[in-house]
Amino acid sequence: MSIQPIAPIMPLGAMSPITPANNDSTPKVSIGDGAQKAETDFSKFLNDALGQVNALQSNADAASQQLATGKVQDMSTVMVALQKASLSMSLTVSVRDKVIDAYNQIMRMQM
């Protein structure tokens, strides 16, 4: 009993030589452009997120005032609005704490 070698599925033929890429085809972008774009994207994202948290807080305040004055009969909608506001605020606070913790760790790094 002899063991037969496994034949390749596709035998490798003659390979073409690797040619270097033409550096002229890559776009010329300065390093500052990407950093500037990332800064505005992050700033816009952060402002939008804080605006949504503010809107949820305002909505919860209005819903609780309407419940107190008797304008709302369904208490579940008020409770949902209050819970959304509470959850968004706790998430915002936890993100803030993580950012401050990361900043403190960076400041403790020795150079």
pLDDT along the chain (111 residues), means of 10: 69 62 58 68 90 96 94 91 96 95 94 79
pTM over 0.75: no
Give pLDDT, residue 1.
66
d(CA 47, CA 45): 6
Give pLDDT, residue 42.
84
List C-alpha distances in Å: 93 to 50, 54, 108: 11, 13, 23
d(CA 100, CA 87): 20
The token pair that represents 6 in the structure block: 């496994």
Alpha helices (H) in the chain, listed in sequence order: 31-69, 75-108
Closest CA to 63 of 43, 77, 83: 77
